[in-house]
Amino acid sequence: MVPTAIDMPAGSYAVTIHLLDWEAEPGAMDVQGHATASALPDFVVLVEPTVETSFRTELETFDDVD
Protein backbone atom coordinates (compact mmCIF):
# COMPACT_ATOMS: atom_id res chain seq x y z
CA MET A 1 0.00 0.00 0.00
CA VAL A 2 1.25 3.47 -0.84
CA PRO A 3 0.70 6.19 1.78
CA THR A 4 -1.46 9.03 0.55
CA ALA A 5 -1.01 12.67 1.55
CA ILE A 6 -3.71 15.26 0.96
CA ASP A 7 -3.45 19.03 1.16
CA MET A 8 -5.86 20.51 3.67
CA PRO A 9 -6.64 24.15 4.33
CA ALA A 10 -5.57 25.46 7.74
CA GLY A 11 -8.12 24.73 10.43
CA SER A 12 -9.39 22.13 12.88
CA TYR A 13 -10.43 18.69 11.71
CA ALA A 14 -12.12 15.67 13.25
CA VAL A 15 -10.69 12.34 12.13
CA THR A 16 -12.62 9.09 12.41
CA ILE A 17 -11.08 5.72 11.57
CA HIS A 18 -13.35 2.76 10.78
CA LEU A 19 -11.75 -0.69 10.95
CA LEU A 20 -13.14 -3.13 8.39
CA ASP A 21 -13.19 -6.92 8.50
CA TRP A 22 -12.37 -7.47 4.84
CA GLU A 23 -11.68 -11.17 5.50
CA ALA A 24 -15.44 -11.57 6.18
CA GLU A 25 -16.29 -10.10 2.77
CA PRO A 26 -17.21 -12.76 0.17
CA GLY A 27 -14.54 -12.91 -2.54
CA ALA A 28 -12.00 -10.90 -0.55
CA MET A 29 -9.54 -13.79 -0.32
CA ASP A 30 -8.19 -16.16 -2.95
CA VAL A 31 -7.65 -19.90 -2.44
CA GLN A 32 -4.24 -19.27 -0.83
CA GLY A 33 -5.79 -16.88 1.72
CA HIS A 34 -4.35 -13.72 0.15
CA ALA A 35 -6.37 -10.56 -0.42
CA THR A 36 -7.81 -10.26 -3.92
CA ALA A 37 -7.58 -7.07 -5.97
CA SER A 38 -11.21 -6.29 -5.12
CA ALA A 39 -10.84 -6.76 -1.34
CA LEU A 40 -11.78 -3.84 0.88
CA PRO A 41 -9.02 -1.94 2.71
CA ASP A 42 -8.29 -2.64 6.39
CA PHE A 43 -9.67 0.74 7.38
CA VAL A 44 -11.37 3.88 6.10
CA VAL A 45 -10.33 7.32 7.35
CA LEU A 46 -12.83 10.21 7.38
CA VAL A 47 -11.52 13.76 7.79
CA GLU A 48 -14.05 16.53 8.36
CA PRO A 49 -13.72 20.21 9.25
CA THR A 50 -14.96 20.91 12.76
CA VAL A 51 -15.73 23.79 15.06
CA GLU A 52 -15.50 21.63 18.20
CA THR A 53 -13.34 23.04 20.95
CA SER A 54 -12.77 19.91 23.02
CA PHE A 55 -11.27 16.68 21.74
CA ARG A 56 -10.32 13.31 23.20
CA THR A 57 -6.75 13.49 24.44
CA GLU A 58 -6.21 9.88 25.56
CA LEU A 59 -5.45 6.87 23.41
CA GLU A 60 -8.23 4.29 23.31
CA THR A 61 -7.13 0.76 22.48
CA PHE A 62 -9.00 -2.47 21.93
CA ASP A 63 -8.71 -5.73 23.86
CA ASP A 64 -7.24 -8.74 22.06
CA VAL A 65 -9.96 -10.89 20.55
CA ASP A 66 -7.96 -14.12 20.26
In a domain? residue 24 = yes
Q: Is-contact 39 28, C-beta < 8 A?
A: yes
Name the band, by pLDDT with cuts 50, 70 and 90, for residue 9. Answer: very high
Residue 1 lies in a domain: no
Residue 65, pLDDT above cutoff 70: no
pLDDT at 60: 72
**How many domains are contained in the chain?**
1
- Kindly state whether residue 42 falls inside one of the protein's structural domains: yes
Q: Which domain holds residue 34?
A: 13-49
Q: How far apart are CA 18 and CA 5, in angstroms?
A: 18
* Within-domain flag for 35: yes
51: left (phi over 0), alpha (psi -120 to 50) or beta: alpha
Average pLDDT, the chain: 82
Residue 8 domain flag: no
**Positive or negative CA dihedral for 49, 51, 56, 57?**
positive
User: Is residue 33 one of the residues assigned to a domain?
Assistant: yes
Helix (H) or strand (E) holding 18, with range, is strand 13-19
Assess if residue 34 is contained within a domain. Answer: yes
Q: Is residue 44 part of a domain?
A: yes
pLDDT category, 28, cuts 50, 70, 90? confident
